Amino acid sequence: MYSPRVLWYTLACGLNVLVVSAAAAAAPATFENDAVARMIELGGSLTHVTTTYTARALEKDAKVFYVSLSEEEEKSTTWVEAKLKGQTAVLDIERHGFNPRNHAFLYSVALPKALKVNQTANIVFSTLQSHASTPLPASAAQGDPQSLQYQTPLYVISPYRCALQRTKIRAPTPMIHSYTQDNLSNYVEKDAKPVSKSGATLTYGPFYKIPESMNTRFQESKQRTVSVHYDYDQPVLTVASLQRSAEISHWGANLNIHDELVLRNDGPELKGHFSRLEHQSQLFFKRKAAHVMRDLVLQLPAGSRDPYFIDLVGNVSTSHFRPIQLSSALIAPAKSRSSILELRPRYPLLGGWNYTFTLGYDSPLEDVAKYDSSTGKYVVAIPYLTNVPGAAFDETSMKIILPEGATDVTIHPPFAPDVIEQSRHITYLDTTGRPSFILKKNGVSEKHAGTVYVTYKLSTAAHFKKPIAVTSAALALFTFALGVRRFDLTLHK
């Protein structure tokens, strides 16, 4: 006898399969792909994939275009976006989930206006993959070079027929050790090469007359896996955990940002023991080891002040801060509108090593907050994270601590968080505590480094809540001391 929980779970899974299957069944009759061009830009922890579909409508009023990802692609995808080619407006995307019958994930893209029969639209579908490349070999000596391997399906999965398809894979450098070249003759013209290399770019295709590929039959008989083994001369960094605390203070006219980070090097693990002598020799002769992280450059918001850098041992003095005022940032070039914080950890970070540290800074509240007289609310802009260049973020959380007495609070995040929790933060000189909200999101990248907008009301009485509490406490203490002095506590007169 099955429990109600198991029955509900089975029913939910069945309904999900029916919904995805229904969407997939309706898709092929609506469009066909005149051309599909995919560009894969390889990196370390992050891989950028841009796929352009030239979609032709087969029915009138065609307005919903379906995009498929393989199970392997979906596992590493942390961000998706769709636009029309040459336009900046982002199209609405709905994720329909995994279809076990076809072993594919289905997304639907809503076009801004319906297409007529034989009318085409160029749809640019962009994704960002985390941890799609792995070190090969998995371990390396301290002075060895670093190589990564990336694997992807050869053909772009689609519920529509495709007249022409091409995939380009661009490595960071022309030093590509090996790539898949055999058994790729399907859908290639006679005597044509299925793959070519030019500098740091591999081109697979063009492939012609590819049938509907979002089905098990095609994936088992026709689909191939392409592997690229390439050189990568930068550390493969991952922020395993980021816990951000943002505290708003009206009396201090300040926004304090406090980050607790666990940074991990996902490059090849160190083979043998670490040699300080070899490390100093590499520094002296400027022979940089690709998989060793020695320093880190972070961009903080303009107007940031009083940064601090602390690890488990204590304050780390090997850092340099180059501030820029907000007034100067408004007229500066785009690349120079941030304050620069250069960090050098207490020890070099090699493959497989972790570094736990705390980073924080203050921002003037006048630079990030505004009072809306029409609604009587304060609006505060808080950055969700400080981006670590080229790093993937596994787990992130942000705790927003509002002033004591704040009411009618609304949170506007730049993306859909996995979890939003409400709590109360109590610290010194508080009476009822400060309202706080915790946002959590796993699988984050530089694309999520947006701004969280917080709106709230703060009455005049709430403004003076803390001074009144402090004054009352001081007055009570004074009254108590005065009363104690009036009593005669001596034993004998």
Q: What is the pLDDT of residue 120?
A: 94
How wide is the angle at C-alpha 278 spanned by C-alphas 275 and 279, nearest 5°?
Answer: 85
Q: What is the pLDDT of residue 316?
A: 84
Report CA torsion sign: 428, 430, 432, 434: negative
pLDDT in the model for residue 15: 42
According to DSSP, the residues that pair with 129 across neighbouring strands are: 47, 77
The reported pLDDT for the residue numbered 473 is 82
With b meaning 16 or more CB within 10 Å and e meaning fewer, what string describes 417-441? beeeeeeebeeeeeeeebbbbbbeb
Low-confidence ranges of the chain (pLDDT < 70): 1-28, 279, 284-285, 326-336, 488-493
**CB-CB neighbours of 171 under 10 Å:** 25
Total Cβ atoms within 10 A of residue 45: 26
| Strand locations in 146-253 (E) | 147-153, 162-170, 176-179, 195-198, 201-210, 225-231, 237-249
Domains assigned to the chain? 4-231 (2.60.40.1730), 237-468 (2.60.40.1730)
Q: Is the dihedral of CA 325, 327, 332, 335 positive or negative?
A: positive
What is the per-residue pLDDT for 196?
A: 94
> For residue 232, which of 299, 316, 135, 304 has the smallest C-alpha distance?
135
Report d(CA 7, CA 2) in Å as an integer: 7
What pLDDT shows up at residue 2? 42
Interatomic CA distance for residues 394 and 440, integer angstroms: 11
Q: Which of 396, 110, 142 is nearest to 277 (CA)?
A: 142
Whole-angstrom Cα distance, residue 400 to residue 411?
10
First to last CA, the chain: 87
Whether the upstream peptide bond of residue 137 has omega within 30° of 0, thus cis, is yes
What does the pLDDT look like over 283-307, one tens digit per residue? 766 777 778 888 899 999 988 999 9
Distance CA(150)–CA(172), nearest Å, equals: 12
> Quick one: 470 exposed, middle or buried, by C-beta within 10 A (0-12, 13-18, 19+)?
exposed
Q: Which helix (H) or strand (E) holds 469?
A: helix 465-486
List beta partners, residue 254: 249, 364
